Amino acid sequence: MKVYELKLKVFLLKNIDSKNALEKISELIDKSLSKNPELYEFHKKNQFKNYCFNSLYNLEQDGVYKEGSIYSVIIRTTDEKLSQSFKKNLVNEYTQYIKALTFENKIIPKKHIEKIYSITPLVVKTDNGYWRQELSLEAYEQRITANIIKKYNAYFNTKLDENFEIFNMIEFNNRKPIATPYKNVSLLGDKLTFYIADNETAQKLAYFVLGAGVGEMNSRGFGFINYRTI
């Protein structure tokens, strides 16, 4: 298993409010995937996509990314085929808001992971919206854990023995839900820190989600995480 990280430089053709940045980056990535018929069909299916990305960087103090400026976007994936497609088709791709420029790419080295933490909001949806009205904290943690295991099982066509601990502790890094516009609605999410258990399976899953993301809607930019190793 490898996690591929691609750092993309982009040039803005129009101003983008920070709240809309993930959606605008999604449009750029989707357009590049449409050039590969196999991956475009894969992308349209209701299944785990095994890639994630963060928002534009460097941050702007007023919350508006500026037309005519250059920013970075980090894309990660566990799928080598996707990585190759991004390198081939995303360079020089453009929308009315963003033009892709150049890539730097690397494979994230496998080291013992102490913790992972949210860079973009982590989304867990319920039938009635935001989880706090529907789930206990224990059920919320179970949903996140089950989602990680399902992604891993689906990708590797396996079935993990679930009798193990992934997280020693979870911390919330926001006091109130973080709202992000998506398709004319506001999705509510959270930023968290997960302290990873010291067992082989937990470490394997922590490395995997660096490329696959945590929570739901990772291919829309949600649940992108960073990490600290020992």
- pLDDT of residue 40 exceeding 80: no
Nearest partner of 177 among 189, 193, 159, 160, judged by Cα: 189
pLDDT at position 79 is 92
Residue-wise pLDDT tens digits, 1-11: 899 999 999 99
Q: Beta-strand (E) ranges in 43-136?
A: 51-53, 64-65, 70-77, 98-107, 113-118, 125-126, 129-130
Interval 124-128 mean pLDDT: 89
- pLDDT of residue 142 exceeding 80: yes
CB 90 within 8 A of CB 7: no
Nearest partner of 222 among 8, 55, 10, 57, judged by Cα: 55
- pLDDT of residue 36 exceeding 80: no
CB 227 within 8 A of CB 116: yes
CA distance 107 to 39: 21
CB 95 within 8 A of CB 11: no
Three-state DSSP at 177 gives coil
- pLDDT of residue 39 exceeding 80: no
Question: What domains are defined for the chain?
Answer: 4-107 (3.30.70.1890), 113-229 (3.30.70.1900)
Interval 144-151 mean pLDDT: 94
Interval 99-108 mean pLDDT: 95
- pLDDT of residue 34 exceeding 90: no
pTM: 0.93
CB 199 within 8 A of CB 206: no
* Model confidence band, residue 35 (pLDDT cutoffs 50, 70, 90): confident
Residue-wise pLDDT tens digits, 176-229: 999 998 888 889 999 999 999 999 999 999 999 999 999 999 999 999 999 999
Q: Where are the alpha helices (DSSP H) in 34-79?
A: 37-44
Residue-wise pLDDT tens digits, 148-169: 999 999 999 999 887 789 999 9
pLDDT at position 65 is 98
Whole-angstrom distance between the N-terminal and C-terminal Cα of the chain?
20
Residue-wise pLDDT tens digits, 46-87: 778 899 999 999 999 999 999 999 999 999 999 998 999 898
